[in-house]
Each structure stands twice: as structure tokens, then as C-alpha cells.
Chains A and B, each alone.
Chain A
Amino acid sequence: MIIGLTVILLCQLLGEVVARGLGWPLPGPVLGMLFLLVFLGLRDRVAKKVPELGKPLDATGKGLLAHLSLLFIPASVGVVQRLDVLADYGVGLAIALVASTFVTLVVTVVTFVVVSRLSGSTMDAEAGTRD
């Protein structure tokens, strides 16, 4: 678990350094995700000589993702305490937000499915439900 966490944090650190160093509009962790992706690709290629970097790394990462909801609580609590900012345009903002989220979900999912059919990259139903 410690090795897995170290690798993950190392990727995050690299991501922060590159993102801030180059002034990119991406958060460091998103870039760190790309670094971990490259690392995972190399790991499989380089052979299975370091077993600690195999399953334990995957387990550590999946453990974090299983409770992703938890990680949003501290920042979100700060946000609900500042709901007063909404005072002036609360109703309008609420309508805009709900309607826009609805439209965005529909447009995105329909676009994905239609283009998927047109480009012949559809999924069979089983692939998604194996977990």
C-alpha cells in the first residue's frame, strides 16, 4: 500500500511541477493521471519483476476511488456556508443550473451514442456489466 501510495503521490508531484512550470490551465493531479497512465504502460512492458507495483498499486488506487464521494465533503461544506453569495440571483441561477445540467447530460449522451453507431465503435451490452 505504501509503495502504491508513493507512486501515486510521485505522479501527482510531477503533474504539479509540470503544470505550474509550464503555466498550463490543467490541475496538477489531472496531469499526474497521465503520468500514472504512462507508468502503468511501462510496468506491464518492463515485466513483472516488482510485484509490489502490480496488484497492491491497483488496490490502493481503487480504494481511493471507491470513496471518492468522501473526498468532496470538506470543500463542499465550505461552499454551503457561503450560500449567501447566491442571494441576489438565487432563483435564476438555480433554474439556469438545473436546466443546463439536464440539457448537457442529454446532448452529451445522445452525441456519444449516435457518433458511436456511425463510427462503428458500439459496445455489446455485456462489456459494461461485467463488474
Chain B
Amino acid sequence: MTDQAFSLWVYLSQTPLLWLVVTLSAYVIADRISQAFRRHPIFNPVLMSVIAVALVLWATRTSYPVYFEGAKFVHFLLGPATVALAIPLYENRHIVLRSIVPMMVALVVGSVTAIVSAVSIAQLFGMPNSILISLAPKSVTAPVGMGITEALGGDPALTAILVMLTGVTGSIMVTPLMNALRMNDWRARGFAVGLASHGIGTARAFQVNSLAGTFAGIAMGLNALVTALLLPLVLKLLLD
């Protein structure tokens, strides 16, 4: 690299602009690829963008805190986007109100299933309790999941990773699985992916069908609440 190019790089790599552009470009390209394959679940835009950005950071030896200085502007919008889930929810309020009973039953059954299945499978591999605790809230949106783990003495960083991987896994799995089961009720499909795979699953649901997205958003919010309340009790039964 020439001196001039190097000093330009030093300047740009320290401003938020560069990493904001990298994040947006990675997403725009990943979203185009996803569209080109008619939203085929394998071409998950979150997964593709994350891999692309991680490769750029690795190639340029950029540390994550430097990257996040720029990307935080995008990250911040997660909050307002969560609030904005109220808009499709309000538009579909009549359908939602009519679905209260199936929603509440599926919420409790699904929430307990998510915790019990993850922990009992992991127990078969002889994992220590600290890892089991960190795995238990994997289906919950990251801030809540990390809070639960921390309160129970697990590793919040591990929870963050497992939550993200669960989100991507559910988003990839949901469409072929629901089609194979011949589930054509968009409410139920959306609710399941929001419960199992929180926000990343909700993003997938909104790409497929807006009613599914609405129910996914509801499931994500409710499951955060129910898991925070139920998980300590369920874990006590499983780990003792």
C-alpha cells in the first residue's frame, strides 16, 4: 500500500462511515441474492451478510469494537423496529383477538418445549450446569436471554451465540418444515417461528407473509416474558 492510500485507510477505518457502508452493502447484496433465489431459506440474508462482514473484518484485521462504532447506528434501530411491531399487530387486531386461545396455549407449551428439549438433549452429552443454563434461554430475544443467563450464573456471551444460531437455524428450517407438515395457517406458522427463533425468525416471517410476521412478533414478545418467568422453575426440575 502506498503512503497516501495507507493514510486514507487509517482515516476511513476510524470513522463510523466506512463500517456503516460495509454493513449496508453486505445486506443489500445478500438481500438481492435472497430475492434472486425467491427467498429460498438457505440464502438467509442475515447469515450471508454476517459471514461477508466477518470476512471483511478478518481480512482488514479490524477489531469488533472499531466495526461496531459504525454499525451501532444500524443496531440502534432494532429498538424502534421492535416498537413498530405494534403497527401490523394493530392492523391485524381482529384476527389476533380471535386467536387468543390458541396463542396462549401454544405459548406455554412451546416455551416449555424449547427449554426442556434443549437442556435434556445437552444433558445427554454430559455438559456441565453452567453450559446448560446458558443454553436454556436460546429461543428468547438476545437481551432477555442474556439477562436470564446472567441471573442464573451462566455465561451470557455463550447465550448470545446460541441465541443467534437458533435464530438463523429456525429461519432456515421453518418454511420447508411447515410445508412438509402441510401447515397452511399463517398465524400458526408465524407464531411458531417467532417463539422458537425470536427476532431473526420474525424477520424471516415478514419476508414470507405479513400476517405470519405479525404473529411471529407477538410470539417473540410473549415468549421473552414467559421464559423469564418459567425458566428458573423448569431448570430447577431438570438439573436437580
Tell me the bound Cα distance from A103 to B169 in angstroms: 12
* A32 and B87 contact, Cβ closer than 8 Å, known pairs A89-B127, A104-B114: no
| Inter-subunit contact B122/A70 (CB<8 Å) | no
Give A39's nearest chain B residue, CB to CB. B86
| A49-71 vs B, Cβ < 8 Å mask (1 yes, 0 no) | 00000000110111011111111
Given contacts A5-B80, A82-B157, contact A73 B71 (CB under 8 A): yes
- Which residues of A sit under 8 angstroms from B167, Cβ to Cβ? 72
**Nearest-Cβ distance from residue A9 to partner chain B, whole angstroms:** 6
B100, B119, B121 interface centre (most CB from chain A within 10 Å): B121
Residue A21 interfacial (CB < 8 Å): no
In the complex, which residues of chain B have a beta carbon less than 8 angstroms from the beta carbon of A68? 81, 199, 202-203, 206
Rounded to whole Å, the gap between the CB of A125 and the closest CB of chain B is: 6
Tell me if B133 counts as interface (CB < 8 A to partner A). no
Q: Check if A112 sits within 8 Å of B185, measured CB to CB.
A: yes
A71, B74: Cβ atoms closer than 8 Å:
yes
Contacts of A113 in B (CB 8 A): 102, 183, 185, 188
Q: Are the CB atoms of A77 and B224 closer together than 8 Å? A: no
In the complex the two chains form, is B88's CB within 8 Å of A62's CB? Answer: yes
Contact at A74–B95, with CB atoms within 8 Å?
no
Q: How far is the CB of A63 from chain B (nearest CB, A)?
A: 9
B141 within 8 A of A: yes
Determine whether B98 belongs to the interface, using a CB cutoff of 8 Å to chain A.
Answer: yes
CA distance in complex: A70, B131 (Å): 29
CB < 8 Å neighbour of B87 from A12, A35, A40, A100: A40
Known contacts A62-B87, A112-B191: does B177 contact A119 (CB below 8 Å)?
no
B135 near A93: Cβ-Cβ < 8 Å? yes
Determine whether the beta carbon of A37 is less than 8 Å from that of B164. Answer: no
Contact string, A8-27, partner B, CB cutoff 8 A, digits 1/0?
Answer: 11011001000000000111
Say which residue of A29, A64, A97 sits within 8 Å of B118 (CB atoms). A97
Q: List 22 A-B contacts (CB under 8 A).
A: A33-B84, A33-B86, A37-B89, A69-B203, A72-B46, A74-B68, A75-B78, A76-B164, A77-B64, A79-B160, A81-B64, A85-B158, A93-B122, A93-B135, A101-B197, A104-B196, A108-B191, A109-B181, A112-B106, A115-B105, A123-B95, A128-B212
Q: A69-B49, A77-B50, A107-B113 are in contact. List 4 more A-B contacts (CB 8 A).
A: A74-B71, A75-B160, A97-B166, A112-B185
**Interface set of B (CB-CB < 8 Å, partner A):** 23-24, 26-27, 31, 45-46, 49-51, 53-54, 57, 64, 67-68, 71-72, 74-75, 77-91, 95, 98-103, 105-106, 109-110, 113-114, 117-119, 121-122, 124-125, 127, 131, 135, 138-139, 141-144, 147-148, 155, 157-158, 160-162, 164-167, 169-170, 173-174, 177-178, 181, 183-189, 191-193, 195-197, 199-200, 202-204, 206-207, 209-213, 217, 219, 221, 224-225, 228-229
Q: Which A residues form the contact surface with B (CB < 8 A)?
A: 5, 8-9, 11-12, 15, 25-30, 32-37, 39-41, 57-58, 60-62, 64-83, 85-86, 88-89, 91-113, 115-116, 119, 121-123, 125, 127-129, 131
